[in-house]
């Protein structure tokens, strides 16, 4: 009986981790380079979720260079439901659980297999079609031991404003800037914390700035004159 107890002890000590911290939103815009950190949701050191620009499904950029319908994302399993009912969920591969477009708007649980972490996740947008750009957005829970709320209070702006040319973000957490006119047409995009508006007409422009610290977008306005 003693030996049976010793064999069972590792199983009794083994426990899963549920991330029930604040929700964040991650977005990969259509045709953003999936090899860039800003296009990857680096959830842990082992799982970096993104999607290729030719469509397809999510894959783990840490270990994969593109997606496989049968296995991607590597080192993950998925189920419909929430972490509040883990015991009743059935996990499978991403595609084995659902076609991506059918999962939009539904509660899901993401299991990071090696890390043994369970995360609530909901896909809120998904660009369908081959060579459509591979855009997607989801919200997910975070590690409750990390301070997420504090970073939201950082004041982010572009300067100089008004400008006649280059504008610069005041925070180095900005890693991507998109420029739109007032109709919503995208004019310029960069993968840096600054952008040159010198080649566009004078007027008011909408600027979207990507924060690499909490993986969210901030919108500001800049006057070009």
Tens digit of pLDDT for each residue in 90-140? 999 999 999 998 999 999 999 999 999 999 999 999 998 888 899 999 999
Is pLDDT of 148 > 80?
Answer: no
Domains of the chain as residue ranges with CATH: 16-146 (no CATH), 150-224 (2.60.40.3080)
Percent share of the chain, pLDDT over 70: 90
Which of 52, 143, 103, 139 has the alpha carbon at shortest distance from 61? 52
Is the pLDDT reported for residue 149 higher than 50?
no
Per-residue pLDDT at 15: 60
CA end-to-end span of the chain, whole Å? 83
Q: CA torsion angle for 139, 97, 81, 23 (degrees, to 10)?
A: -10
Query: What secondary structure letter does DSSP report for 62?
Result: T
β-pairing verdict for 194-196 and 216-224: unpaired
The answer to whether residue 11 scores a pLDDT higher than 70 is: no
Per-residue model confidence as pLDDT tens digits over 166-223: 999 998 899 999 999 888 888 999 999 999 999 999 999 999 999 888 888 888 989 9
Q: Which of these ranges, 51-55, 71-75, 105-109, 148-152, has the smallest mean pLDDT?
A: 148-152
Report the SS3 class of residue 101.
Answer: helix
Question: pLDDT band at residue 3, thresholds of 50, 70 and 90?
Answer: very low
The residue among 166 and 146 whose pLDDT is bigger is: 166
| Predicted local distance difference test score (pLDDT) of residue 153 | 58
């Amino acid at each position: 009986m003693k030996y049976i107890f010793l064999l069972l002890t590792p199983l009794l000590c083994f426990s899963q981790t549920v991330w029930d911290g604040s929700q964040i939103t991650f977005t990969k815009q259509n045709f953003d380079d999936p090899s860039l950190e800003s296009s990857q949701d680096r959830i842990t050191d082992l799982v970096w979720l993104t999607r290729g620009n030719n469509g397809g499904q999510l894959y783990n950029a840490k270990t994969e260079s593109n997606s496989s319908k049968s296995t991607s994302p590597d080192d993950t399993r998925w189920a419909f439901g929430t972490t509040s009912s883990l015991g009743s969920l059935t996990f499978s591969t991403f595609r084995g659980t659902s076609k991506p477009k059918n999962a939009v708007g539904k509660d899901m649980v993401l299991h990071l297999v090696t890390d043994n972490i369970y995360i609530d996740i909901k896909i809120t947008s998904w660009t369908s079609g081959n060579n459509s750009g591979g855009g997607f957005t989801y919200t997910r829970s975070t590690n409750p031991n990390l301070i997420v709320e504090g970073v939201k209070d950082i004041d982010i702006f572009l300067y100089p404003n008004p400008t006649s040319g280059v504008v610069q973000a005041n925070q180095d957490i900005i890693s991507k800037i998109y420029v739109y006119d007032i109709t919503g047409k995208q004019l310029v995009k960069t993968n840096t914390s600054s952008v040159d508006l010198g080649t566009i007409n004078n007027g008011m422009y909408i600027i979207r700035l990507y924060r690499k610290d909490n993986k969210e977008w901030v919108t500001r306005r800049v006057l070009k004159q």
